[in-house]
Structure 1
């Protein structure tokens, strides 16, 4: 399968690749067919094995050969950078990221309810978290207002319980629960932490404080195993 290198730490011998199928694969130094320096955006071919990529080699190593009427590429020359710039081909989720995406608060909120509804991979910067929080609060206020208005206008014979308002609030929480969980997980990934720490955010008495702390910590500098630095972050 063909894919693109998203990150490779040569010192630690760890990295990840986005495949043409849109999935993200991890790999280690021993998964490389030969020792080589892989830059971000490099085009490679690999053998998928679950969530891991193996038998990885640079596509350039196959581009020049006897069948093309050129001298065979050796292990040394195959990895040398070309003098002419080559625009890498992007695949899967990284190809989507290449398209200009707005980093506005509303855009983050809308993507949280659509493309990122159950996205538990990748990273979410502080602005994305607070943008979702802002419009989620506005949506909750609107749901309360609409429900209360309907309850007050039910007219004669209507009970004193705000049934419609409570129903709308419950529905709103049900529809936005998964986006909230996935957003917290991606926020933790952005800090270089495991997403399992999101459980702390739902512990009584301490959940609110834990969520606030995770929301205020700055983005981790540099790429990590959950993805590159989110767009728009400046250090």
Structure 2
């Protein structure tokens, strides 16, 4: 659950880098909770809970995605590719799936270095 809570704690931190595993675990947990909320909304015939959930987690989601893009050596502004249907989505998905840029980059220290003993 720390994979989900850590980006929420760092909700306004658009600097530094986030590992691929940490990003995708956040996305997985976000979507599982979203499915649970959708099931609750269907059973209660309400529509506001999912919107509130998405709104509350909008800033943490943008921040963790920016940090993931930083880890691949790209600016967080690449997130604007979401507004380009299909092609933009594919390009951004490829960027988010790429491995970390080795060593330090302009956005900070490689987060894998803390676990692998890499300097």
**TM-score interval, smaller chain:** 0.7 to 0.9
Q: What are structure 2's unaligned runs of at least 5 residues?
A: none
Over aligned residues, Cα RMSD in angstroms?
1.8
Q: C-alpha displacement at 1:211, in angstroms? A: 3.1
**Pairing of 1:131-150 with structure 2 (within 5 A):** 131-150=25-44
TM-aligned CA distance change 1:216 to 1:234, over 3 Å: farther
How far off is 1:208 after superposition? 2.7
Cα shift at 1:232: 3.1
- Which protein shows a greater Rg? 1
List gaps (5 residues or longer) in structure 1. 1-105, 152-163
Do 1:188 and 1:194's aligned partners in 2 also have CA atoms closer than 8 Å?
yes
- Report the structure, 1 or 2, having the larger helix content: 2
Distance 1:224 1:140 in 2: 34
Equivalent pair of 1:190/1:220 in contact (CA under 8 Å): yes
Look up the SS of the partner of 1:232 in the other structure: helix
Instruction: State the alpha-carbon separation in 2 of the partners of residues 186 and 107 from structure 1.
Output: 17
* Alpha-carbon distance between aligned partners in 1 of 2:62 and 2:116, rounded to the nearest angstrom: 22
Relative contact order higher in (CA < 8 Å, ≥ 6 apart): 2
- Measure, in 1, the Cα distance between the counterparts of 2:59 and 2:95: 18
Inter-CA distance 232–109: structure 2 relative to 1 (3 Å threshold): farther
Distance 1:232 1:226 in 2: 18
1:192 pairs, out of 65, 73, 79, with 73
